[in-house]
Structure formats: C-alpha cells, structure tokens
Structure 1
Amino acid sequence: MTDTVIGIIGGSGVYDIDGLQGATWQSVDSPWGNPSDDILTGTLDGVKMAFLPRHGRGHVHSPTTVPYRANIDALKRLGVTDVISVSACGSFREEMAPGDFVIVDQFIDRTFAREKSFFGTGCVAHVSVAHPTCPRLSDACEVAAKEAGITVHKGGTYLAMEGPQFSTLAESRMYREVWNCDVIGMTNMPEAKLAREAELCYASVAMITDYDSWHPDHGEVDVTEIIKTLTGNADKARNLVARLPALLGANRNPCEHHCDRALEYAILTAPDARDPALVAKLDAVAGRVLG
C-alpha cells in the first residue's frame, strides 16, 4: 500500500484548486524541458494533491506547444499516482449538451505535431493503450460529478485534433457520423499515452462547451459563448475535484487494471544496447523497470 497523490491537470478555465492546505507553487526540473507552469501542491482532506495548469497560468501554451512530456514527468517526480485530466471539449451528441461533463474512455488521436513518447532510439518500448483510461479512477470521477450535481455521461470517445483552429463543417460531420466520436478536443493526446508510459492511472473529464460545427441550430463554434460556458464548467470542475480525496482515500493498493505496471514487459531494447543518456532521462518515468 502506498500514499495516494492525486494529480490534476487543469484545462481551459481551470487554473487552481480551492481549499488546498499548505498550498505551495513549486518549480519542478524535468529532463524533458520545462513543464507548462509551476505545480501547486498541498493536501485536501488529508490526501496529497498536485495541480498543474496545462496551458500555464494566463493561458500561454497552445494545444500544440503544451510540453506534455515534461508535464507528465514532473508529476511523476512529485510522487503522483493518479492523474485526472480536466479539459474543455465540443460535443457531437445532442444529449451531451454544453455544461455537461463526459468521463472519456476512448480516444482517436489525430494530432501530428507533438512528441508522443518518452521512448525512442536507444530504448524502445511499446505499451498498450487499448484501454487508455483507468476504470477505477474514472468511476471515482463519475461519483464525484454526481455528488456535485453535475450532469455527467459515463463513457465516450474523444477525438483529439491538432488545432488550434476548430473543425470545418465537413470534418465535424465525419467525426460524428462516420467515426462515431462523442466529443472533440485538442489536449488529451498525447497526454493519455504518456501517462500510461509513466505507469500513472489516468482519467479524463471532458467539460462540454459547445456542439462543434455540426449542429444545425448552433452553427460554427462561437468563442464568446465558449468562454461563458467555461466559467460555469470551471466552478463545477472544482466541486468535482474537491470530492475526489474522500473517494480515493489517502492510501492505495496496486491498480487492479495494471496501469501502474504498464512497462512490465514493454521495453524491448537489450540492457547492453540501451542509450545511457536516454536511460538517464527516464529515471522518473521508467526507473521502476530500468533500475
């Protein structure tokens, strides 16, 4: 049994956590570059927590320039065990309305301008992301949302696009009608893949702001309307997060879904063929298996 350390990656509109005891913004050095911002650490109801604003305070990073590897590595270095991603998204479903939350369980990754792995030449690894989110953590997020009075939908496919532009009408229709996606966003990939490589449990809470561009009664995405919805969603997200410590507890057993052992058989490069420089950078992410 180990200490639970909840890591919250806050998306658009979510830049802090209410009620943290001993709250301190601290800088974390990462061999993968600088994280998006300092990380707010403290305890909430006796459970350790770490909060990282994905875009940085003041929203300085675009979805493409978010330093995803540094972010995940920094959280791992702080001892985070469970990562909850909170992000804004558009909806492809009438019943998934602006202001609702979706607990995502699948992704289609359409990003193309981002580094997507900690591993590479000199240390090759392949992890499974068939089920990219942790069911245990997702269940806790669903319960927390319901306790907070949020309309929440359990399960959904998130289409991750590169951005920063929103979809064309043709793209929106294809994602909805052909690919059968439920929501669309720009930030959960490669974040979810990197969390799996770092052996972190990961759950995605998608906060709906709009209907993308497919909806005949809503037209193209209106940023002013998105900002209005974001404000309400941010308050809901903080209420959800406030309920997680009681649900997850201060102590945790190994993940029954093996998220925290994802690298067990993933590394293929023979020990004597590994690049020492890359291995050194992997000390936090893969130290458990690399020794």
Structure 2
Amino acid sequence: MGDSRKIKIGIIGGSGFDDPTLFENQVTRRVTTPFGDPSDVITEGEIKGVPCALLARHGRKHQIQPSDVNYRANIWALKEAGCTHVLATTATGSLVEQYRPGDLVILDDFIDRTWGRKCTFYDNSCDTTRGVCHAPMRPAFCERARQALYRAALARGYACHETGTAVVIQGPRFSSRAESLMHRQWGGHLVNMTTVPEVVLAKEAGLSYAAVALVTDYDCWRENETAVSVSEVLAMFSKNVQKAADVIVDAVQILAAETDTAYLDAHKELVKSSIMLKE
C-alpha cells in the first residue's frame, strides 16, 4: 500500500486550464533543469484540495512548435516539482470513421514517426541519469491513470473511446494523403505531433502518465475530404477543449481518492530494472 497523501498530479496542456479560479493557492514558478528550460513557467496549486502542477507544452502563447518542445525539461521539471502522475491533453486527427471530431480518446499505444528529438534522459548528458535505459513500452501508458480518465469521461456523459493508437508525426506540417492512408494501414486510430517522446520520458522518470486526446478533424484520408487546416483544428479544439479539461479535473479527484498506490512504486522499480550500467 502506498500513501495517497503523497500524490501530486502534473498536467501538460495549456488551453482550457487558464481559468484563474481553477487552481487554489496558486503559485507560479520559473524553473530550469539539467536538460535546459521547460516550455514555460510551472503553475502550482490545488484542484479541489489535490496538489497539482500545470505546464503549457507549447508555452502559454503557443510559440513552440512540436519538434522544438524541450520534452525532457518539461517532464524533469514536473518530476522535480514532486509530481507522481502526469495527465496530458493532445489535439489529434482521426484515422478511423468511428472516432469523430469532438470525441475524446484515452490513448493506449503509439507509433513513432518523429526524428531528431531527445527521447531519453540516459544519454550521458547528465550525471543524475547514468547508463542506458531500455524502457519497455508495453504498456505505453499507465493503466490506472488511463482508467481514471476514462471513468471521468463516462461520468460526464462525453463521447469517449477507451483505447486508441496515436501515430506521432514530426510536424509542424500535416500529413500528405498517402501518409494518412499508410497510417491507417499500420493500425493507427489517430495522428498527432506530441505524444512521443513525452510518454517515453514520463516512463523513464517513473511517473504515471496518461493522455486524453481530443479529435479535431479526419486528417485527409477520406474520399472527397478537404485538406485539414489550422482554422478547422482550432475551431474544433476551442469548441470542445472544456471536455478535456473537465475530464482531467475529475480524474485528479479519482486518482487522489485511491488508497492503493503501489503501482507508483512499480513504475519506479521498472526504471531501475531497465538501466544497463557498466562500472
């Protein structure tokens, strides 16, 4: 048994969490890490009595493109802030008919099509993380955190899919139609630009990580489908982002109410067992 009083929830997102009344006892801190500066300041406080920390993935002005996000600094900063969990939001395009714009999806797997991103803490750039970490990615996400998000969505009556595989592309451009069709053939349900390496680094940090995806469009695979556009994505995201915010706020309460937190120790032990270090 763990101690639920030690739980602190990190939230990665931005839009939908800028309501100043959402956080109680709010404090904003600018921090740095051995891996550089995170995307923005960290806002700490409580959501209905539960300690939380909020970080805008792309910066509060959305000024950082997906491939330039310092994912390592973001995850490290939340870990150093004492977070045990990270709940993330992500805008996604749909690769299957039944995942409709406006739906929520609780991600359970990914296909990585990014390149050049710093995807591990264990690259000998920091004395704190020595060795090589071969982290297993099955399961890719923490099941307890995923189920908390799913339960929260169901309780709200939102259209939500319990599982979904995200094909993570480099960006910032959208997919070509040929790429979109290929992603469907690979078994992808969604396409986005940010889940990797965020989910990988959270696992290396020993954190419970889960993400709720907000479907904004059908990408460009459908016959007679117009090309996906920024205006279309932003309009759908703005219309439905409050759903994702509601789900995360409710999931925070669900996770904090659990008394068996042994799974958090299991995440940390998994990291230790995944590191190869030659003295």
TM-score (norm. length: structure 2): 0.91
Q: 1:220/1:105 Cα in 2 relative to 1: closer, same or farther (>3 Å)? A: same
Q: Quick check: 1:16–1:51 contact (8 Å CA) kept in 2? A: no
CA contact (8 A) 2:104 2:244 kept: no
C-alpha distance in structure 1 between counterparts of 2:50 and 2:17, whole Å: 20
Contact 1:5 1:49 in 2 (8 A): yes
| Residue number in structure 2 paired with 1:150 | 158
Separation of aligned partners in 2, 1:209 and 1:19: 24
Bigger mean CA deviation after superposition, 123-132 or 96-105 = 123-132
Report the Cα distance in structure 2 between the residues aligned to 1:257 and 1:153, rounded to whole angstroms: 28
Matched, 1:267 2:275: yes
Q: Secondary structure at the match of 2:268?
A: helix
1:198 partnered with 2:200: no
1:45 and 2:55 aligned = no
Q: TM-score, normalised by structure 1?
A: 0.88
Counterpart of 1:117 in structure 2 is 120
Opposite residue 267 of structure 1, the aligned amino acid is: I
Between the aligned partners of 2:252 and 2:13, the Cα distance in structure 1 is: 17
Name the SS for the 2:54 alignment partner.
strand
Q: Number of aligned pairs?
A: 269
2:112 partner letter: D
Give yes or no for contact 1:36–1:66 (8 Å, CA) kept in 2: yes
Please list the CA deviations of residues 144-175 of structure 1 after superposition, one character each: whole Å capped at 9, or x if unmatched.
11222321001111000001100000000111
SS at match of 1:158: strand
Moved more, 225-234 or 131-140: 225-234
Structure 1 segments unaligned to the other structure (5+ residues): 274-291
Q: In 1, are the aligned partners of 2:11 and 2:54 still within 8 Å (CA)? A: yes
Helix, strand or coil for the counterpart of 1:216?
A: coil
CA deviation map 1:99-149 (0-9, x unaligned): 101101011001002111000245222111121101110000001112223
Q: Is 1:16 aligned to 2:23, yes or no?
A: no
Contact 2:109/2:141 (<8 A) preserved: yes
Deviation at 1:236, TM superposition (A): 1.1
* Distance apart, 1:264 and its partner CA: 2.4
Aligned to 1:99: 102
Amino acid at match of 2:132: V
**Partner of residue 142, structure 2:** 134
Write out aligned runs for 1:76-87 (5 A).
76-87=79-90
1:134–1:257: 8 Å Cα contact kept in structure 2?
no
The code of the aligned residue for 1:153 comes to: H
Residue number in structure 1 paired with 2:249: 242
Match of 1:71 in 2: 74
Counterparts of 1:146 and 1:268, CA distance in 2:
41
Percent identity of paired positions between Structure 1 and Structure 2: 38
Contact 1:4-1:252 at 8 Å conserved across structures: no
Q: Distance in 2 between matches of 1:102 and 1:124?
A: 32
**Equivalents in 2 of 1:190, 1:14: separation in Å?**
23
SS of 1:264's equivalent in the other structure is: helix
Aligned residues of 1:113 and 1:162 also touching (Cα < 8 A) = no
